[in-house]
Structure formats: structure tokens, C-alpha cells
Amino acid sequence: MTPRIYTSSYPSVPLLARSIFTHLLSVGPNSGKIGGYPAQEKVFVDAASGTSITRQDLRTLSLKFAYGLKQDPRIKAKRGDVVLVYSPNSLAYPVYILGAIAAGMRCTLANNAYTARELQHQYTDSGATLIITTIENLGAALEMLTGGLGLSQADAERRIILSPKSLTWASGLTTSESKSLRGLITFDQLLEQGELQNEELFDGDDAQETALLCYSSGTTGQPKGVETTHQNLTTATETIALVLGYQPRDRLLIFLPFYHIYGAVSGLLFPIFCGTTTVVMPRFDLIDFCVTVETYRITAVLVVPPVVLAIARHPVIDKYDLSSIWLLFSSAAPVSPTLMKEAKQRLMAKRKPEQILHVTEGYGMTECSPASHILPLDHAISKAGSVGVLLPNYQARLIVDDSDDAVLDAEEGKPGELWVKGPSIMKGYLNNPIANKDSFTSDRWYKTGDVCLRDQGGFYYIVDRKKELIKYKGFQVPPAELEGVLITHPEIADAAAIGVQSETEVTELPRAYVVHSQPSKISTPELRKAFEKSVANWMESKVAKHKYLRGGVVVIGEVPRSAAGKILRRELRALAEMEMKP
């Protein structure tokens, strides 16, 4: 059968053979400009303190950091070495990424809420040899290196770069802490040693070299290292710019975490490419969000669906002047067209009708660095509910059956699993030939695990998720990871996790079904309830907050499995639906 291949209707962008550092921060022939924009303009601003760094600062600090990484005798970074960033958003975060990349290193970005156990998986799997962390996360990092990996305290300290407490770049250690943690390398020490010269920069044919290693569970299993190359990133900036360019005069607000691909690319790298000033918050808080929009006259915001809900319906919104926003972009999880329209109406209520406001959506995944589809601004109303059209250079197929050798494409207008192909799709999962074989066809189609419809105009609609993933407020919660933790509970014999829809928030909630190892111990409803509650509490000591079992824990007699032992999640979803009916 001839495959039914859909191609982006945008002209293709040329593929570049340069590093993402050069792409964003090269000094132009017209001195005074960096990356094509005035060097002295602010590029990142800390929302709370108002401190900022200019494009020139960002370049200089990154080159100094790169030099320190390469030259410091305690590190001597070599090309391809992996550094793990374990930090909340800050003005220093772009310097970590761009400095490490300028030194030819790969950056793996970890959730700063990870427990030592979760961190250990990413640290060992990525092959990291260094951790950049903050004083708040230092304890978990040291616990992972000493308790988890069994290193001596001195060895553990040598693997940590302590990030600055503030933009004075000092570490924030008290005198006594400095004395007891003598082995730590501090960020400010690395900045003092010199500056990497232009010609030393990693570049040229190395465009296929891995730059970022974010973690994603893909369609199944544990989180895997996604090898995002320099060319993936340079292409992503060029293609997104054609559909959703922010303007140099924009002030973008970012509270999305920089460790997730959405924050890392759309919130950190892409704005540098667009000449935008980005105002950085460490996390979302509705009041802080409103105050920041008002204070900085924010013009563009990247959000996830629960924030669209808050904007649409929370009473506090009326107390603030949010009229500076012209772009509200939602992604990372489904959002209904009704809610998008409500958010728009709410924001328009206090404005003149002629004022421009676009409320639109994009779709993608860590593996696409990050987007494959964006809903163009001029269709945001007429096609509300669609995740948009294919970005430049992308191709798509919708597959109804690939169980045998013969792959069957859906008929026009019918749903199928979305397969995508394009130059911003990851090189592959790090050191994971089995996952790569399962996720890519031999001719490089990537199987997204999302079920999609395409209308005649080329607009795509996500209608279902075939893969195992649970999404809590846009964060990945891999069921296999929850199950792996649950079965280490002394009284749990088997476990399965699914996502259930929250009734009050626009998000899925992780829910676990567990089998008690001695059912006679929970023979009354009271004992069973107490056990379920204790399991939910126990999980809170094991996993990061977004993985808490907010959707509940339910004891069952047996986890439904196929003959091959695969958990039958559809059956559990049907069960949950019945259980949760009012």
C-alpha cells in the first residue's frame, strides 16, 4: 500500500551546521550586536527582584563558565561529557546550558523537585559526571551521590558545582558551611579563570552532536534520555519562528520549568533567538503571575491548561490589569476550545475591542524538541480545539494498524496514531536500542503514541492517547515508574497506575490500583481505606510532588493483564470511570 504522507504547507527552512550557542549568541560584523540584537539589551529579568542580564552578559558569562569547565583542574571537561542541572529556574540557568554547550558538553536537565532516588536514575542513565545545583537541592544531590551511589563525601563534593544564590554569583554558603563542604566547586570560582575564545567554540560538522538530554518516558516504560542535537534545536528555533515569532519588543513571562523541553526551548532558547526579553519566575503562583504581568507589562505568556482555567475562571484575575498580553499560548496537555474562548473573553473584557489578543495552542513532545504542530494565530478562533498545522520541514502519517509488517494508514478524515518525521526530531533515546527500535520505523518515522484526526484544511486534533503516559498539569508521570516504586512497598504484591480526569482542574491525576500481599489484613472497608490512604502518604516520601497519587489509591484483587503480562489499562480506566461516577 502506498503510505498516505502529509507534508507541512510551509516552505522548508534550511538545515544549519552550527552549534546552538553560535546560532543564538554570535557576535555580528556590526559590533554592538549579539545574535543580531543589541548587546546591551536585557535578555533575562528575574521577576521578583528585577535584576537582569543583558545579551552581552549572557554571552560573556557563558564563555567564562565554559572556560572554567574546561580548564579547572577539578573538572577538565571534555567534549561529550555530561553535566546534570538540578536547579529551579533562575537567571543563571541559561548560563549553565549555554556555557556547558559552548564547552562541548551535553546538558541533562532534571526536575528540581526530584528526590535523591529519582535523581539517581537520571544521573546514572545519562552518564553525568557533574551536577550543577543550588543550596536548597544540595542535600538531595549529596544524598544521591553518597547514599545512592556509595561515593565518599569528598568524592561526592568534587562532583558538585554549587550555583549562585543571587546575581552577585556568590554561592550563598554560610562561613561554617563553606568550611564543612570544602570540596564543592562553586559557580563563582569557575567564572574567575578566564573566558573561552571564539575559535575554541565547538562548531561546524558537530551539528548532529547531542546538546540536551531531557528525560521522557516516550510511549512506555521508565524515563529515557532524549538526545536533542544542535541541529534539532537550531531547526526548532527557525521553524517555530515562522509560525509563532515573538517580537524583539516582546516581554515574555516564563514560569514553566526550564528543565522541561517546553521551558528549555520555547521559554529559554527560542526567546534569545527572537530578541525577546524574558521575565523569569521560579514556579507558577496565580497572584505572583498577575503582579508580574502588571509590573512588567508582559506581552506574551506560555502556559499549560490549568493556567488557562485559572485565567478563564478565577475571581482574582479581575483585580489586575492584564491588558498588555497579546499572546497566550497553551501546550503540553489537552485543553478544550470552550476554555480557550472563555480565557480570551475574560482577558478582552477590560480592553478596547480593537486590541489584539491571540489565545492559541501547540502540540509536541520532548522527542520533537519540542513542537510538531502549532495553531497559527489567524486560525486561533476558527479552528479552536485543533493543535494546529504541521510546522515547516515536518511530515506526518496517521496509522491505524502497525501490528504486522504491513502498516495501515487511516483514511482521510479518520483518526490514527500520529507518526512524524522531521529535522527537529531527536537523534534517539540514549543507549537504548530497544526503545529506539520500538519508537522509530526503519525509515525514521517517530511513533508519537497520540491518536490524531486531520481535517481537510490540514488542521490536526488530538483525540486520544494510546501510550502509557499520565500528564499532571503538563508534567510527565510515567505509570511504569509509579508501579516500580509501588511494588517496593512491603505490603504490595502488584500495582498498576493510570491517569483519571480531575473534576475541578484541567488535568489528569495519577491513580494507583494495588494488590495487597496479604488480603486478610484488610478484610473490612475501614482497614482497606486506611491502607489505601497509607499507600498514598507513603508515596509522598518517595516521589516528586507532581507524581503524588492525587487520583487515589484503590485496592483490587488482581491487576488485569494480557496473556503476555501487559497491564490492560483500558480495563482499569473503565473501572475508574465507574468508581468515580457521582
Q: Which residues bind to ligand 4UV, rule: CB under 6 A?
A: 216, 261-262, 265-266, 331-334, 361-366, 370-371, 387, 448, 450, 462, 465, 471, 474, 476
Strands (E), 32-162: 33-34, 37-38, 42-46, 52-54, 82-86, 106-109, 128-133, 160-162
37 or 329: whose CB is closer to ligand 4UV?
Answer: 329
Confirm if 371 and 362 have CB atoms less than 8 A apart. yes
Taking the mean position of all CA atoms in its chain, how far away is CA 513?
Answer: 27
141 or 368: whose CB is closer to ligand 4UV?
Answer: 368
The angle formed by the CA atoms of residues 383, 388 and 391, to the nearest 5 degrees, is: 150
In angstroms, what is the minimal distance from the CB of 394 to ligand 4UV? 12
Full DSSP string of 189-201: HHHTS----GGGS
301 or 371: whose CB is closer to ligand 4UV?
Answer: 371
Burial class (CB in 10 A: 0-12, 13-18, 19+), 349: exposed
188 or 402: whose CB is closer to ligand 4UV?
Answer: 402
In angstroms, what is the minimal distance from the CB of 303 to ligand 4UV? 11
Taking the mean position of all CA atoms in its chain, how far away is CA 399?
Answer: 26
| Backbone dihedral angles phi then psi of residue 388, each to the nearest 5 degrees | 105, -160
Q: Which three cell numbers stand for residue 135?
A: 543550596
In angstroms, what is the minimal distance from the CB of 30 to ligand 4UV? 31
Spatial distance between the Cα atoms of 513 and 87, rounded to a whole number of angstroms = 33
In angstroms, what is the minimal distance from the CB of 472 to ligand 4UV? 11
CB-based contacts of 408, cutoff 8 Å, min separation 6: 1, 399, 400, 401, 402
307 or 387: whose CB is closer to ligand 4UV?
Answer: 387
* Axis crossing angle, helix 337-348 with helix 305-313, rounded to the nearest 10: 50
159 or 260: whose CB is closer to ligand 4UV?
Answer: 260
In angstroms, what is the minimal distance from the CB of 493 to ligand 4UV? 31
250 or 450: whose CB is closer to ligand 4UV?
Answer: 450
463 or 580: whose CB is closer to ligand 4UV?
Answer: 463
Spatial distance between the Cα atoms of 288 and 293, rounded to a whole number of angstroms = 8
Spatial distance between the Cα atoms of 90 and 9, rounded to a whole number of angstroms = 38
**Coil, strand, or helix at residue 309?**
helix
In angstroms, what is the minimal distance from the CB of 463 to ligand 4UV? 10
312 or 333: whose CB is closer to ligand 4UV?
Answer: 333
Burial per residue of 419-444, b for 16 or more beta-carbon CB atoms within 10 angstroms, e otherwise: bbbbbbbbebbbebeebbeebbeeee
Q: Which three cell numbers stand for residue 285?
A: 503562583
In angstroms, what is the minimal distance from the CB of 362 to ligand 4UV? 3
In angstroms, what is the minimal distance from the CB of 226 to ligand 4UV? 8
Confirm if 427 and 458 have CB atoms less than 8 A apart. no
Cross-strand partners of 84: 108, 131
**Coil, strand, or helix at residue 347?**
helix
Q: Which three cell numbers stand for residue 241?
A: 519562528
Q: How far apart are the first and last CA of the chain?
A: 48
In angstroms, what is the minimal distance from the CB of 332 to ligand 4UV? 3
In angstroms, what is the minimal distance from the CB of 333 to ligand 4UV? 5
Preceding omega of 510 cis (within 30 degrees of 0): no
Cross-strand partners of 300: 252, 327
Spatial distance between the Cα atoms of 62 and 56, rounded to a whole number of angstroms = 10
Confirm if 423 and 231 have CB atoms less than 8 A apart. yes
* Axis crossing angle, helix 479-486 with helix 525-540, rounded to the nearest 10: 110
201 or 335: whose CB is closer to ligand 4UV?
Answer: 335
In angstroms, what is the minimal distance from the CB of 544 to ligand 4UV? 14
In angstroms, what is the minimal distance from the CB of 145 to ligand 4UV? 27
202 or 460: whose CB is closer to ligand 4UV?
Answer: 460
98 or 371: whose CB is closer to ligand 4UV?
Answer: 371
In angstroms, what is the minimal distance from the CB of 304 to ligand 4UV? 8
Confirm if 116 and 143 have CB atoms less than 8 A apart. yes
In angstroms, what is the minimal distance from the CB of 391 to ligand 4UV? 9
Q: Report CA torsion sign: 485, 487, 488, 492.
A: positive
The H helix count followed by the E strand count for the chain is: 18, 30
Spatial distance between the Cα atoms of 31 and 271, rounded to a whole number of angstroms = 21
10 or 320: whose CB is closer to ligand 4UV?
Answer: 10
271 or 282: whose CB is closer to ligand 4UV?
Answer: 271
Q: Which three cell numbers stand for residue 49?
A: 527582584
